[in-house]
Structure 1
């Protein structure tokens, strides 16, 4: 990488340390990535609470204060081999640790200015551009009935009625259906993200019939903890073709009316779509409802002030219900759009520490030589980007930055990344390597790979690791795998046995005890057997391991948290959409941790 390119990148990384907003003029900023369109609205109480960057890397105190480094450049440094495996050498100046080097690895752990890494809920729009299940696929490959997975929002969980999931589906792209064929119970579709508090959420839906005998209703759910505990903004469609709004709280199965308005319209026909928007900040909530074909009213339809202790955070979603006495069942609720314009988690994940991770030009051979000492001393006072500086530059809200390297001139080398393009059912298969993100062909020592169509700006889990450690920090890479173990393989499973560096810990045997995390340190690769499918011995590209991330450190709850690119979050994340990004159980990743590896 050229000095000019590195200065540009450092400028953009400096912007991230402030707010993950727009890079300064020193960086070559690319146009902002497309964001979901939002309806026009008057200022709301939720706006200030939910605006701003979705992820950040901030410094404690003065960002460019080098005092934390300076002591390490003074006086004599001592080297001590630490007990345990892998073999590590600790470098100290007086009573202060200056660096930790690992025999056989290039990564070096150093103290530096304290940083806090955090991520909040990212915005997304689900227009149900998928088929669930897809009848064109073989039965074994079809998803079970439901609404599938939203882009960046996690998986839709559906239930209710007498026939369960078969009453839900996306049989036509752009139309998620909820079949109401009885009046015994409502049906619910919620996103499996329990921590949402302040939010600006809206949905668009319609009924395929005007009800007879009694009304049908649909509601936008928030603070959802279950069918018997949630808030809802409910539109009731009457037999007269009118629409009424009720804002309700359900607690312990008892419904309390908080506000009502209506009729909002008359002569409503079958298929007329309506939009509900909920803007919540603390105890205050504004609800606006209007025909989706028209403009949003300048004033909210209803306002409430209520904050039930058990409902301060929860899921968001949609409910459909046919009132007792409705005589023209079945009635189908059709949801065409669900949008989280902005939201906050009640407790966003946050990691604070003074650990910086840098790379030697070659693996440390265990000898503390004058040459190695010169390199470590040269890092004193350096604010050059490290592993985490680069890794955070692909999380939600990170600015796009173009590279000056002739191999990628004009391509974004930093900036918010997705996971990969979805298939017909909305699933995101493996496939987005770093050169797919760049949309550039890449010549590896073993072969040349061309970028896959439609993957620009995307990184799957191993592609994310290769982008950080390989493209930006110079670790060698292969198109497949390197038997000499000097280059990062393409697939996470191959990294277990073929990644350069040293193994720190590994699960013992099939179903054996979890890896010992006593020697785990920030920057280590953490590899998982999430799907619990054994590798095929006749297929050299089939492995037990199917996911990889970068260990970040202890969060404020004292749990070991990692960064990885995930399908459910649609890109790099340190957060917990559809499963906690922590190594401490119980949880899908804590239970499936297979190997810890140090590059």
Structure 2
């Protein structure tokens, strides 16, 4: 697509005000029809989706929407822009602000190619997703050296976040994933239950299900497995509890626990007789508002058409985590008993509005670094950007977030490969962890001739991008910044790894930590589009020795979210790909989170 036709197409969409939510399927369908060889049109399809009000897993996964009144292109069109005034701003690095009357048109940085340009207001948002954890990992993995094994527990659910476990013996394997497809909880005593919960505290309405079994028919007294919802602590939650009795029967109790007291809300049973060791049962809870429907049935059978129990839930149980509890009743004499969970799924859930960032900043690139002089030639480029809705850094960046449609490229270098679309981080290892992931050409499955080396794609990394691969895909492949296979001592091309970007990325350093602690990074000149680089795995380095830090993560600063927090885009292992959201840690630079604590460098391309 020519630049002229692309601008005409994008400009036509600039006059639209979008408020209705569009499903990812519809987005993908429209993008596939309209833009098999046009990344710009696919971007427009994604940009027409929206998320409003409370979030649900059934809503659009991610979106970039145009907000406010219909965009008045005349306000920025070249013929209407009028005289521009350029002013050098105080501070380092040196920046030049360009204004038309009271309107800020652009900000240029001496030594950098990126330019902040005013344009149509956009809102960027990312929803959470439904997921099923089938425990396709080993925790800990005995085949790995001890230093590389995860601690006992259930590890991390891809897309669902980390499992938090409570109860049992510290350092023991009362919790683990010891064979693929089976998370275990060993009950050795009758004094307290064992708990495994996902670390998302904000779920309200929910449709959640688990599949579980015991390795023994209990002797002396019952053992039970409970599906937790509205979990705030062991003394404040609701649960749907299946008791496996010494007679081979299964009973259901729906219970509320508040202030350490247990109140039975409903009970039913026996639901079956002759239950044997290893028989798998399913428990499902569908809670909307104060109403909860609970269904329990043998996994070998069909889910009943009517719920097994229906209850009204008070304040406790309306918001909190979901998870699993195992318990051996007092008098059970054939301990230890092992509870096995084979599947845990959240089919739908609702929480407060997902994170969103709204602003009018578009990030574009000059052909060469700005030398600090506001010349007629530079002015002509800035005027050419005025009113343009051609894809910028964020347009491309959002096209790799969850739910984005896959689009083939027309560039002969990529041979019709995907150049846009939802990306994962990489292939998981035996513990379900994601090691170093994929570069941009691995995503496309294309060999690439860099100035310093030719690289072949890793065959198992199709549609995957690690943190630096994501930055290189956006700034390098799509925006045209040069790239090298390793690093460029001349600092004219993007290195492969985030650690090398600290000292060798082209552009200018905006701020850097001196010693330990994120508070050492001055964020006064941080602006959308800046690279933010982190020392995530050595937050507790020696604060008096900067050399003890090793940058290992990179993202792109997006802007202030609806809570006024600085939010960034990056491809993360815990989120399994590019994200602006909060799976296993919020993507923000404020507060006491891991990224606020580990921020090391801010760099402008």
Q: When the two structures are superposed, what TM-score results if normalisation uses the length of structure 2?
A: 0.89
Query: Given the superposition, is the C-alpha separation of residues 141 and 369 from structure 1 closer, same or farther in structure 2, using an over 3 Å criterion?
Result: same
Query: Given the superposition, is the C-alpha separation of residues 405 and 287 from structure 1 closer, same or farther in structure 2, using an over 3 Å criterion?
Result: farther
Match of 2:291 among 245, 270, 284: 284
- Measure the CA separation in 2 of the matches of 1:561 and 1:473: 22
Offset at residue 282 of structure 1 (A): 2.9
Match of 1:471 among 461, 468, 477: 477
Match of 2:59 among 52, 56, 59: 52
Match of 1:92 among 99, 122, 125: 99
- Measure the CA separation in 1 of the matches of 2:518 and 2:333: 58
Offset at residue 80 of structure 1 (A): 0.3
Gaps of at least 5 residues in structure 2 are 39-53, 542-546
Q: When the two structures are superposed, what TM-score results if normalisation uses the length of structure 1?
A: 0.90
- Measure the CA separation in 2 of the matches of 1:161 and 1:114: 52
SS in 1 for 2:472: helix
- Measure the CA separation in 2 of the matches of 1:9 and 1:160: 59
- Measure the CA separation in 1 of the matches of 2:2 and 2:445: 20
Offset at residue 164 of structure 1 (A): 6.1
Offset at residue 544 of structure 1 (A): 0.9
SS in 1 for 2:595: helix
Between 1:518-527 and 1:260-269, the stretch displaced more is: 260-269
Aligned match of 1:404:
410
Aligned match of 1:564:
570
Between 1:142-151 and 1:177-186, the stretch displaced more is: 142-151
- Measure the CA separation in 2 of the matches of 1:210 and 1:92: 77
Aligned match of 1:33:
none
Between 1:434-443 and 1:15-24, the stretch displaced more is: 15-24
Gaps of at least 5 residues in structure 1 are 31-46, 536-540
Between 1:148-157 and 1:310-319, the stretch displaced more is: 310-319
- Measure the CA separation in 2 of the matches of 1:9 and 1:222: 48
Offset at residue 124 of structure 1 (A): 2.0
Aligned match of 1:538:
none
Q: Deviations over 1:234-284 (max 9, x none)?
A: 111112212122222222222222222222222111111111222233333
Q: Deviations over 1:17-56 (max 9, x none)?
A: 76462242212299xxxxxxxxxxxxxxxx9954121221
Asked if the contact 2:17/2:68 (under 8 Å) is kept, the reply is: no
Aligned match of 2:494:
488
Matched, 1:439 2:469: no
- Measure the CA separation in 2 of the matches of 1:312 and 1:362: 55
Written as runs of structure 1 = structure 2, the 5 A alignment for 1:197-212 is: 197-212=204-219
Match of 2:160 among 153, 158, 163: 153
Offset at residue 407 of structure 1 (A): 2.0
Q: Deviations over 1:340-387 (max 9, x none)?
A: 223233342111111111111111111111111111111122111111
Query: Given the superposition, is the C-alpha separation of residues 289 and 532 from structure 1 closer, same or farther in structure 2, using an over 3 Å criterion?
Result: same
- Measure the CA separation in 2 of the matches of 1:131 and 1:276: 24
Matched, 1:213 2:208: no
Query: Given the superposition, is the C-alpha separation of residues 305 and 353 from structure 1 closer, same or farther in structure 2, using an over 3 Å criterion?
Result: farther
Match of 1:196 among 197, 200, 203: 203
Aligned match of 2:113:
106
Matched, 1:166 2:173: yes
Aligned match of 2:544:
none
Matched, 1:321 2:341: no
Offset at residue 16 of structure 1 (A): 13
Asked if the contact 1:146/1:165 (under 8 Å) is kept, the reply is: no
Offset at residue 586 of structure 1 (A): 1.1
Query: Given the superposition, is the C-alpha separation of residues 49 and 79 from structure 1 closer, same or farther in structure 2, using an over 3 Å criterion?
Result: closer
Aligned match of 1:28:
36
- Measure the CA separation in 1 of the matches of 2:208 and 2:484: 44
Aligned match of 2:553:
547
- Measure the CA separation in 1 of the matches of 2:225 and 2:352: 26
Asked if the contact 1:158/1:165 (under 8 Å) is kept, the reply is: no
Query: Given the superposition, is the C-alpha separation of residues 580 and 542 from structure 1 closer, same or farther in structure 2, using an over 3 Å criterion?
Result: same
Aligned match of 1:385:
391
Match of 2:147 among 127, 134, 140: 140
Between 1:419-428 and 1:510-519, the stretch displaced more is: 510-519
- Measure the CA separation in 2 of the matches of 1:241 and 1:383: 67
Between 1:470-479 and 1:221-230, the stretch displaced more is: 221-230
Match of 1:526 among 507, 532, 541: 532
SS in 1 for 2:503: helix
Written as runs of structure 1 = structure 2, the 5 A alignment for 1:341-420 is: 341-420=347-426
**Aligned-residue CA RMSD (Å):** 2.8
Offset at residue 473 of structure 1 (A): 1.0
- Measure the CA separation in 1 of the matches of 2:460 and 2:280: 32
Matched, 1:274 2:275: no
Aligned match of 2:49:
none
SS in 2 for 1:56: strand
SS in 1 for 2:209: strand
Aligned match of 2:596:
590
Aligned match of 1:37:
none
SS in 2 for 1:197: coil
Offset at residue 411 of structure 1 (A): 2.1
